[in-house]
Structure 1
């Protein structure tokens, strides 16, 4: 039985509400133990290896995702990926052309492909997990999103949904996507933005600061929307489109938020993460969360900021901006015309 209620709100935002009874029953079920967090000495968050930002422990992230996929009812945690996958699919339908060959980077369990059954394009899926069955002709390639094993100018379309926020070398990954695209090919992606889970971040920081005299990063750093256009441009894309959605999910409490993040395989994996949280700190954070952000019905919201991006690989057939100085009319002339029209209306009421 589906335990999600979905309704669209103003501005394209989506509200997903978990039914409290279903969540409470699920939380009390016996769970396999998650992979133990590696205890690491304190190190710089932005340590560099070969000039690349090394923020995330990719091996830990693989173990987290593998553990999440081993859960008996792992599909119940796919609600966010399914929703974002459908919105990426909508953007593909908006483009009035066919794509003979497409690539899904970090496809997971084919959260985009399941919404593209009408298109019928051959799709290659790059993933570290087993994908869902799909009506589309798909070929799954078990590979790392940071190292695409394809030749240049191979694909007409590249898509990605909710996987690129764990990539250490995001500029390099975008350049690789640009390389495997054919000229006039398009990249359509969605990733988690910097305002994601701000309620959880603030609550944990305030509680840890009050109980322990300092705080550690418990929510991974995400890309800001202001940086995304520059990253796409530096990778070689043009005709860029970047927009933002907010998806809000309601939970019975903060512990349910953390439980679902773990079930999604979306737990923190930065190198300098803290290995554990004290019980008193967690209880204090839950109280702060409910006090600052709680709803009248007793539930608490968790906000996910989703950044959508579209970029095209350059081709001579694409529309290009006019050369500087080639304009045949000036804004000063337009201003004079509007002023004369206003004076005419004043003289002839």
Structure 2
């Protein structure tokens, strides 16, 4: 059977560069980190609810260090992987983990089925994967603004994202014995399109497409800014949404 490589939607070097810039920005005051903070808090709540105390855990993508610190306090042996150097589409160097947590990472790999398969292989028997990603319902106002910016021939400027059903199917395809995918929405108010874009860059969530479109011209950018504020409320703030999908799978 002929093996077909997955389409190259994302550029790994651009992704690594965006994360490096985000960490530099995080050193400044008042930078945004609410997406990752929400993911970390949610994972900690899930672990407490499940009363899960892993002996050996792998944490991917938590540049705040909060999750590893909490797990280490529970006497777990914790390995942290930096997504700037980790290639999720390749087998992991180590295995035998009771718990693997991946945050804000798997939604930007070209071969997600392979990445999930490698993570399952790195789990010990009965080990559990918890992966949080931004889902298909994210950033509807920004998407609408980008369409308004270039109404005749809109360029591809935003990432394709997966939905709940697709995520469940991918977990099953990767061979997880049980799988659960749930979603929740986070709403953030913005006074301008520029502030939203800045927040995304703060968190390493900016564009990393393999074939990025050129920058918007002045007229197109003005249209985007106007469209973004068209739904602003009385306080002149536009409500933007982030859908967070949490994929949970157990290794048989």
- Calculate the TM-score normalised by the size of structure 1: 0.67
Match of 1:147 among 71, 87, 90: 90
Which runs of 4 or more aligned residues in structure 1 lie more than 6 Å from their structure 2 counterparts after TM superposition? none
Q: Hey, what does 1:284 align to over in structure 2?
A: 223
Q: Hey, what does 1:101 align to over in structure 2?
A: 56
Q: Distance in 1 between matches of 2:210 and 2:104?
A: 20
1:311 aligns with 2:233: no
User: Is the 8 Å Cα contact of residues 74 and 263 (structure 1) preserved in structure 2?
Assistant: no
Match of 1:78 among 18, 33, 38: 33
User: Is the 8 Å Cα contact of residues 174 and 232 (structure 1) preserved in structure 2?
Assistant: yes
> Which protein, 1 or 2, shows the higher relative CO under an 8 Å CA cutoff with sep ≥ 6?
2
| DSSP 3-state at the match of 1:272 | coil
Q: CA deviation at 1:198?
A: 1.1
User: Is the 8 Å Cα contact of residues 85 and 111 (structure 1) preserved in structure 2?
Assistant: yes
Q: Distance in 1 between matches of 2:141 and 2:66?
A: 26
User: Is the 8 Å Cα contact of residues 192 and 306 (structure 1) preserved in structure 2?
Assistant: yes
- Calculate the TM-score normalised by the size of structure 2: 0.91
Match of 1:297 among 225, 235, 242: 235
Q: Hey, what does 1:201 align to over in structure 2?
A: 143
Q: CA deviation at 1:310?
A: 1.0
Q: Distance in 2 between matches of 1:309 and 1:128?
A: 18
Q: Distance in 1 between matches of 2:75 and 2:32?
A: 27
Q: Distance in 2 between matches of 1:260 and 1:111?
A: 20
Q: Hey, what does 2:205 align to over in structure 1?
A: 266
User: Is the 8 Å Cα contact of residues 126 and 145 (structure 1) preserved in structure 2?
Assistant: no
Q: CA deviation at 1:118?
A: 4.8
Q: CA deviation at 1:248?
A: 0.8
Q: CA deviation at 1:84?
A: 1.4
What does 1:149-228 correspond to in 2, within 5 Å? 149-152=92-95, 154-209=96-151, 213-228=152-167
| DSSP 3-state at the match of 1:190 | strand
1:62 aligns with 2:6: no
Q: Distance in 2 between matches of 1:77 and 1:243?
A: 24
Instruction: Compare CA radii of gyration and give the structure with the larger one.
Output: 1
User: Is the 8 Å Cα contact of residues 86 and 111 (structure 1) preserved in structure 2?
Assistant: no
User: Is the 8 Å Cα contact of residues 127 and 144 (structure 1) preserved in structure 2?
Assistant: no
Match of 1:251 among 185, 190, 200: 190
After superposition, what is the alpha-carbon deviation per residue over 1:122-156, rounded to whole angstroms, capped at 9, x for unaligned?
11111145xxxxxxxxxxxx53233343345x111
Q: Structure 1 regions of 5+ residues with no counterpart?
A: 1-48, 130-141, 315-349
After superposition, what is the alpha-carbon deviation per residue over 1:300-327, rounded to whole angstroms, capped at 9, x for unaligned?
122100001111011xxxxxxxxxxxxx
After superposition, what is the alpha-carbon deviation per residue over 1:243-300, rounded to whole angstroms, capped at 9, x for unaligned?
1000111111111101111222211111232121112111111111111x21211011
Root-mean-square deviation (CA), in Å? 1.9
Q: Distance in 2 between matches of 1:313 and 1:108?
A: 26
